[in-house]
Amino acid sequence: MTTPITSFRDLELPAPLLSALAEVGYETPSPIQAACIPHLLAGRDLLGEAQTGTGKTAAFALPALARLDLANFRPQVLVLTPTRELAIQVAEAFQKYAHHLPGFHVLPLYGGQSMVVQLRQLKRGAHVIVGTPGRIMDHLERGSLVLDGLSTLVLDEADEMLRMGFIDDVEWILEHTPAERQTALFSATMPEAIRRVAHRHLREPQEVKIRAATATVAAIRQRYWQVRGVDKLDALTRILEVEDDFDAAIVFVRTKTATVELAERLEARGYAAAALNGDMTQGLREQVIERLKNGSLDIVVATDVAARGIDVPRVSHVINYDIPYDTEAYVHRIGRTGRAGRQGTAILFVAPRETRMLKSIERATRQPIEAIALPTREAVAGRRVAQFRQQIVDTLEKEDLAFFMDVINGVEEEEGFKAHEIAAALAFLATRDRPLQIEETGRGWDVATAPQSAGRAERPPRERRDEAPARRHAFSDGQLTRYRIEVGREHGVSPKEIVGAIANEGGIEGRYIGQIHLFDDYSTVELPKALPAELLGLLKRVRVRQRPLAIRELGAAEAEALPERRRPTGGFKERAAGGERPPRKWEGGQERPRAKPSGERHGAPKPHAGKPVKRFRKD
């Protein structure tokens, strides 16, 4: 028996990589990393079979980085990925692990991004290129990408590239790169066609196979609900209301239309939800993922292809709203949660005639999936009461209430009511949109009520939330610029509330709302340049956390002078085309918003399905 590898140090990775790993918080190598890194460091070809979430990116990125010649700016490593999302994620991972490699440069190249931008970036040079097969082929044919100096080629998610029809392109690329290169092929499954590619293009590959039942899959609690009586949407909202550890969810449906419809219906119920599907432009999809990361969205309703490879650690739940077509898709789906060592929950909706699929999923994952009952009305109501109480306590602890005490004292003295009677009336008013007592209705009982925001302007009590706001502003394409609003961290505001207020009260779609930065007593938000005066006037009066936004556009000098400096985000058109944008992180100036659907939340901006883009064959 060999002693198990316990640290990255044992893998003999260079010191700058070890420091970067310590910073990202990886303690030990995952099994696939422990198995692959020594082979790849030694320059051998490799055939790796492992499910999603097992840490394949670092398994190939770390040895590739270890072997780089930083003084040479010609591409030395090429990673092929099936989708743009994955290309971006893999590029981000390289960047992260290379944090202490001075001058390191990685370049993602994928379809849908401007050629002009890519050509410029290619001229500048990069050590590592990560791209989708179609676009890489384009560049090789044009001569804009020269791979004479390539030493390592990685095929990531080879089975997915096969499924998407890229395998001929992949072989073409393999044939047009130096024969003496090192090649690593990673795949969740090993269909015959992939084996054939491996035989043709890999030299005596080391085979590494990690069985499906890995620690990451084990960290996912799997449950199912037998669809019966209540419709799926009601079931979903009930479940989300009572889940203890809910932070964010990806909800899987089968069709693109269903992503948009369900996201809209969730939004109408007060959830910060958006659709993610293959019809949306790359820029929009990136924005959705970014907003899920930074907490301005809690629920993304996605199709399998669009959500593939998403790695957002705060995703606590995967909901299989529509059952997947096969067990493999199921494993890929649930792999979106339980990321980075966290606990995740997967919930599967199973219609009576889908019971056989449930059984085969259990067989494939070698884990029983636990049946759950829908939360009862009492459970949901109980949860709402608990959240409401918590809100009261938080407000008492955090807010300066002197003025309000005076108002209440006045009511007490002049109207002759006791403080607890007044409090009850206020509790009634505060929870009108999301009642603590849930009533029976014709179709069982109704949880279709949106959480009310503390900052929302008064709305008539019986207004139906399912109706879209009357006005929706559209902007012709252009730049986003920063505006200042007079509510900040001191007032207890969250970015989500700001997005919600601007989207709902101003009727501005979420895609026109860019980054939000919180400062002590004000914040900045990116919106289209030169908003119409009428809209600006409206937004000035919108109240968040009891404070009028008093919004105004910042001059260039003023924006420059803000305490934090960043590169300006491009216009939304450019971004939709996937312009060069640094990966957006949760920055120091911002506060992490709370993500529960609680009583103090705004509905989110409308999801938006962008123009169809051509997919599959040529990305």
- The site map against ligand ADP for 21-40 (x = CB under 6 A) is -----x--xx--x-------
The one of Mg ion, ligand ADP, none whose footprint includes residue 277, by CB under 5 to 8 A per kind, is none
Report the C-alpha gap between 312 and 293 in whole angstroms. Answer: 6
Output the furthest CA–CA distance in the chain (Å, rounded): 90
Tell me how far, at minimum, the Cβ of 385 lies from ligand ADP, in Å: 36
Q: Does 341 bind ligand ADP (CB under 6 A)?
A: yes
Among positions 127, 291, 308, 339, the unique one binding ligand ADP when judged by CB under 6 A: 339
Q: Does 55 bind ligand ADP (CB under 6 A)?
A: yes
For residues 151 and 337, which CB has a smaller minimum distance to ligand ADP in the complex?
Answer: 337
Tell me how far, at minimum, the Cβ of 603 lies from ligand ADP, in Å: 29
For residues 56 and 517, which CB has a smaller minimum distance to Mg ion in the complex?
Answer: 56
Tell me how far, at minimum, the Cβ of 350 lies from ligand ADP, in Å: 26
Q: Does 125 bind ligand ADP (CB under 6 A)?
A: no
Query: Which residues, 540 to 559, sit near Mg ion by CB under 5 A?
Result: none
For residues 344 and 455, which CB has a smaller minimum distance to ligand ADP in the complex?
Answer: 344
The one of ligand ADP, Mg ion, none whose footprint includes residue 26, by CB under 5 to 8 A per kind, is ligand ADP
Report the C-alpha gap between 173 and 158 in whole angstroms. Answer: 13
Give 616's contacts (C-beta < 8 A, 6+ positions apart): 164, 165
For residues 56 and 238, which CB has a smaller minimum distance to Mg ion in the complex?
Answer: 56
> Nearest-CB residue to Mg ion?
56
For residues 70 and 340, which CB has a smaller minimum distance to ligand ADP in the complex?
Answer: 340
Instruction: Report yes or no: 433 and 452 within 8 Å, Cβ to Cβ.
Output: yes
Report the C-alpha gap between 382 and 438 in whole angstroms. Answer: 10
Tell me how far, at minimum, the Cβ of 52 lies from Mg ion, in Å: 6
Instruction: Report yes or no: 16 and 100 within 8 Å, Cβ to Cβ.
Output: yes
Residue count, binding to Mg ion (CB under 5 A): 1
For residues 56 and 434, which CB has a smaller minimum distance to Mg ion in the complex?
Answer: 56
Pairing mode of beta strands 552-553, 46-49: unpaired
Tell me how far, at minimum, the Cβ of 170 lies from ligand ADP, in Å: 18
Pairing mode of beta strands 315-320, 273-276: unpaired
Instruction: Report yes or no: 150 and 75 within 8 Å, Cβ to Cβ.
Output: yes
For residues 32 and 275, which CB has a smaller minimum distance to ligand ADP in the complex?
Answer: 32
Query: Which residues, 35 to 94, sit near Mg ion by CB under 5 A?
Result: 56
The one of Mg ion, ligand ADP, none whose footprint includes residue 607, by CB under 5 to 8 A per kind, is none
Among positions 138, 159, 264, 311, the unique one binding ligand ADP when judged by CB under 6 A: 311
Q: Where are the alpha helices (DSSP H) in 375-510?
A: 377-398, 402-415, 419-430, 495-506
Which parts of 281-343 are beta strand (E)? 299-302, 315-320
Tokens matching residue 365? 């994952």
Give 558's contacts (C-beta < 8 A, 6+ positions apart): 484
Q: Does 337 bind ligand ADP (CB under 6 A)?
A: no
Report the C-alpha gap between 403 and 395 in whole angstroms. Answer: 14
Among positions 39, 40, 49, 56, the unique one binding ligand ADP when judged by CB under 6 A: 56
Among positions 35, 57, 79, 387, the unique one binding ligand ADP when judged by CB under 6 A: 57
Q: Does 181 bind ligand ADP (CB under 6 A)?
A: no
Instruction: Report yes or no: 384 and 390 within 8 Å, Cβ to Cβ.
Output: no
Instruction: Report yes or no: 501 and 491 within 8 Å, Cβ to Cβ.
Output: no
Q: Does 58 bind ligand ADP (CB under 6 A)?
A: yes
Q: Does 222 bind ligand ADP (CB under 6 A)?
A: no
The one of ligand ADP, Mg ion, none whose footprint includes residue 613, by CB under 5 to 8 A per kind, is none
Pairing mode of beta strands 344-350, 220-226: parallel
The one of ligand ADP, Mg ion, none whose footprint includes residue 532, by CB under 5 to 8 A per kind, is none
Report the C-alpha gap between 499 and 513 in whole angstroms. Answer: 7
The one of Mg ion, ligand ADP, none whose footprint includes residue 478, by CB under 5 to 8 A per kind, is none
Tell me how far, at minimum, the Cβ of 156 lies from ligand ADP, in Å: 7
Report the C-alpha gap between 159 and 427 in whole angstroms. Answer: 56
Among candidate residues 386, 381, 357, the one with its CA nearest the CA of residue 369? 357
For residues 33 and 316, which CB has a smaller minimum distance to ligand ADP in the complex?
Answer: 33
Tell me how far, at minimum, the Cβ of 221 lies from Mg ion, in Å: 22
Tell me how far, at minimum, the Cβ of 89 lies from Mg ion, in Å: 7
Report the C-alpha gap between 478 and 560 in whole angstroms. Answer: 20
Report the DSSP beta bridge partners of residue 445.
Answer: 440
Which parts of 519-617 are beta strand (E)? 523-528, 543-544, 547-548, 552-553
Pairing mode of beta strands 299-302, 273-276: parallel
The alpha-carbon radius of gyration of the chain (Å, integer) is 26
> Which positions touch ligand ADP (CB under 6 A)?
26, 29-30, 33, 50, 52-58, 311, 313, 339-341
> Which positions touch Mg ion (CB under 5 A)?
56
